[in-house]
Structures are given as structure tokens and as C-alpha cells.
Structure 1
């Protein structure tokens, strides 16, 4: 959940911020729904705040063009391309240099490490 914040002070979580009728600013509609009891008012005009120059501006969603993806004050590109998550199976663990339990199974008995001085299989080495 993203906490509400005033437009000039929130760090770079996203490049654009939406406003609601309650005068609180949210990065997305889901963040608004989690913290507010009222629904968003449907409108075709959206108010954005640029997180680079910290100025607010309005855009009409019906007439949204490629040139509207930039802040009219500082030309910051605030529309981010969406990435489709790829399904994959992976195991998350700590760094193996810190904790090797992931790589080494303690339940399996290891053979003794042999040195050149061990007498085990010495007859095979000597010929």
C-alpha cells in the first residue's frame, strides 16, 4: 500500500500521481481504494503532478496523444511502459557465501576427505 502524500514531497515511486476529491494524492487507484472509504469519481480529466519539477497539470484522457506523455513544464517522460510478468519457478535463498545450507545438505553423510598421507587405499597408489 502506498501512503498518501502531498505532490511536491513524495519520492520517485512512480513518475505520475493522481489526485482525488479528498485532496490527498495517490500513485494508483488501488492505493486509493485501500485507504479511503469512498470510490473514485469517474471523470475524463485527470490531474497529474510531475515528480521531477513538482508542478501539477491536467490532461484530458479522451484526447490523450503520444506528446501528452511528457510534462508540459519540464518535458519529463512520466508515462512508464508496462511490463507483463513472466511466470517462472525459482527458489529464493540467501547468498550462498553467507549461508551454504541451501547448497550443502547436512543430513547426508560426507566421506572423509583424503589426503596424500592417508593410509586408506595406499596400496593402490604405491603399486
Structure 2
């Protein structure tokens, strides 16, 4: 979520994991759902929404599929507007390379599904 965990939240989620109340394979999804719930933090929900928008911009809008570049773009985001701009520029630079004669990556953009991903940057 782009921040160090608070003690209460850390204790809660490690307790859930250690008790087996949530399967390990479903743990991250449970944390995400918790962050997006009405009882979660608005800042955490916004962080996740922006992170998803970066992913959509990469994969859906630009049709890119290089996992290494995707990871770099996602890790660039730290919750700040500057990091969103940096991630978008990284994606745009990669898309331009792929779209050139030097590109060897297969791309397929999905038109009409996510027209507004990162359009506010």
C-alpha cells in the first residue's frame, strides 16, 4: 500500500494469516478487499485504484506484455503524483520502442475498454 504498516493492521493481518482464517493463496486478495472496504483507509483505496490504473494503462491501453517492464512500472509508483508521471513515462517509452522496427514484443491493445486510464496525468 505504499507505506509501512501500522501496528494494529500488521497484527490483524498476520493473525489472520497465522490462524489459517484465510488461505495463503487468497491472502493478498483479502488484504486488498479490506483496504477497499468502507472500514478501510481512503488513502489505501486510492493507492490501489491508481496502481490498477497503471496496470490497465500498461496492459490494456498499450497492449504490452513484458513482465519485467510491467514490474518496473508498478514498483516505480510510491503513491505520489510524480511517481505516477514517472511510471507513465516509462510505459510510454517502452511502448514507443516496441512499436518501432526494433521491437520484438507482440502487442495487442484492447480499444474501448479502458479509455481513461491515466488520462489525468
Query: Is this a same-fold pair by TM over 0.5?
Result: no
Q: Which has the higher strand share?
A: 1
Radius of gyration: which is bigger?
1
Q: State the TM-score bracket (shorter-chain normalisation).
A: under 0.3
More relative contact order, 1 or 2 (CA 8 Å, 6+ apart): 2
Q: TM-score, normalised by structure 2?
A: 0.21
